[in-house]
Amino acid sequence: MLYLQKLLLIRRFFSTLAFFSMQTVFFIYLQKKGLSNSEIAFSLSLLFFCNQALAIFAGIWGDRFGLAKMMLLGCFLDVLAYIFFLSADHYFLLLLATTCFGLGSCLFGTNAKACLLAIAGNEYAEKTRLQGKYLKVTSMSSMGAPLLVIPFIKYDHINALIWACFAIEAILFVMMIKPFSQIQAVQKLVKFRFSQIR
């Protein structure tokens, strides 16, 4: 399980680094593709909505179908998002990209936190330690991303940055496929009903 913990934290760090790097150059990249400011702003709002507002559904699906499946689906949607984003010459493709970005990040993040809690078992101190580590790697990567993009912006290599982010997500997705099969052992599937929400 120690390997699984490290894998989840490593994936969170690099995926968040790529995600915030992409967000930093979001407007610059899409303006160069000829999209209007209103289209870009709405698509960014859609990304944030999918990332935040769908967290409860991400948790429900994790309980119902399994943490591993939902995290792997989140990783896949992140890869798919970059494919749409790189080809986002049309508004519809941009909306698909931002929906996949938001939902993919939400599915992985919500269920990764639940997985770390499940791994910790009934040990409160261990739960706290793992959640602290999760928040730490998230903070470090989100703070480091704006610094990472500075040379790409300065030398006008925005496309190279987006391709690098895409490569990071694709490599992470391939790395996750086999290890995620171990996660089912730490979770009992639950048939969720909305009546359970109080």
Average pLDDT of the chain is 89
Render 39-102 in DSSP notation, one character per residue. HHHHHHHHHHHHHHTTHHHHHHHHHHH-HHHHHHHHHHHHHHHHHHHHT--SHHHHHHHHHHHH
Q: Which residues contact 145 (CB under 8 A, 6 or more apart)?
A: 16, 17, 19, 20, 21, 23, 24
CA distance 120 to 21: 31
Q: What is the average pLDDT across 154-174?
A: 95
Query: What is the value of pTM for the model shown?
Result: 0.88
| pLDDT-above-70 percentage for the chain | 91
What tokens were used for 20? 């915030």
CA distance 22 to 44: 11
CB 46 within 8 A of CB 38: no
pLDDT band of 136, cuts 50, 70, 90: very high
Is pLDDT of 195 > 60?
no
Q: Which of 45-49, 84-88, 120-124, 190-194 has the lowest mean pLDDT?
A: 190-194
